Every structure is written in structure tokens, then in C-alpha cells.
Structure 1
Amino acid sequence: MNIDEAIDLLKDKGYKTTGKRKDILAFFEGADGYRTAKDLIHYLDESYDGISFDTIYRNLHLYHEVGILESTELNGEKHFRMNCTHHHHHHFICNVCGKTKEIEVCPMSEVQQSLANYAIEDHKFEIYGLCPACQGA
């Protein structure tokens, strides 16, 4: 998803697109991988002196709820990234830097066979470890 698609989605859902909301979208569009609320507040603090964690979390929750951001938990903290809606895939996520790499393999066909009598509504498959750059550090 890009900024224009995200803004259209917000407008379709009846939300205003303020300069601050656009700057949040720009942060995530430019991020390579998952980022935390702390990362976002450091980015925005340059333009919005004294921006509150309440504002940050309220917008992160909104973006996640409407489908702009996806989230995961790394080291006990929630991390966010722009939603990848163009094709079905999963991610390798670096535990140190949060960088992601797409994984085209999906284990759902095997899972569906072993859960034949169950109604699966959704799934998320992530692999965690260290990216090449963090392994070398």
C-alpha cells in the first residue's frame, strides 16, 4: 500500500487526512520493515514538538483497524509496517533491526488438511531471526 491508497482508504472510512496523519504514512512508506511507536515519535518530534504517545498510539490503532498497517510483536513490543496487499506472502523478520524479507511459501495447504473439519478465518506466518547485516554486527 502506498500513501495515496492509504489516504483514499481513510477518506472512504470517513476519517480526515491531516498533515500529521500524512507524515505518519510517509514514515511507514519509507520504512524498510517493522517500526515501533518510539521510532515514529522520534521521527515526528522534529516537526511536531512535544507530540504525545496518545496521539501516536491512537493513529497507529486507527491505521491498523482500517487495514493500512499490519502489526507483529517483537521482543514484547508491538511493531507496525505498511500493509502488503498486492499479493499473498509471509515474512522473515529480523529480531534486531525489524527489517523484513518476503517469503513466498505458505504452509496453509498442509494446515488445512490437518484441520479439515475446522473453519479457518485467517492466518499469519512469520519467521524470526537475524538478517545478514545484524549477524555480522
Structure 2
Amino acid sequence: MSTHVNLVNVRPVPGGVRVPSVTITVRNVAYTMPVLAYQVSGSTVVFPGLEGDEPNAIRVRFDRWRVARDCDPWRELPLDFPDMGTAVKAAMEFESTPGVSWDSCDEDLGAWLVGYVERHRARAGGDR
């Protein structure tokens, strides 16, 4: 084993701990379970995609990651990233961008994401 990543579902917060959860439906049964997340900094986390995998399973997708704020209210950047490293870099870039934060309106978050995608396409040599 060359790399070990600890995905946790308990994070210390002032006054106690926080256990974020997600609800996934499989065969018409809703399961609420802890989100396995990697803390980037502060309340910003990245986590693998979770989905109901019919007929009897919940699939953890390590090929689809999200960036989120792990506090009330839980808030995600509405874009899937192809791996954990890319999601962490996006989270760090988001946090270091002046004028945008987790408290920004949906339109500002969307504009940041459009700019992020355009910058990374240009770095990669064009459309992908």
C-alpha cells in the first residue's frame, strides 16, 4: 500500500462534534448514513460520491468527488471532480478566491465554477 487516506465522519466543532449525513434510497427504503469526508481546512471538506446501486447496495464512487462546507447549512459546489486530488485543489482555490465564500449566493458560486472550469480547460490546452 503506497497511500492511505483517512475518510472520517466525525469532526470536532466548538461545543462538541459534528457528524454530517446523507440520505440515499435503495429499493424504496431511505438510508441516512454518515458522509465519509476528508477535511481540507476549516469547515471545507471533500467527499466521494454516494449513490443507490440497485438492487441492494450503496456505492461509494471514488471517481466522483464533491467539495462542501461541513456546517449548518451543509452546502456543496455543484460540480463533480474526477478524483480526490482535483477536488482538494479546487477546494483550496475556492477558499483563496477573494469575493466568493460559502456564504455567497448561488449565482456567485456558479460564476466561480464557470471561471474555474474555463481556467482549467485553458491550462489543459483547450476544450475537453
Mark yes or no: TM-score above 0.5.
no
Greater RCO (Cα-Cα under 8 Å, separation 6 or more): 1
Structure with the higher strand share, 1 or 2: 2
TM-score with structure 1 length normalisation? 0.24
Q: Which has the larger radius of gyration?
A: 1
More helix by share: 1
Normalised to the residue count of structure 2, the TM-score between the two structures is 0.25
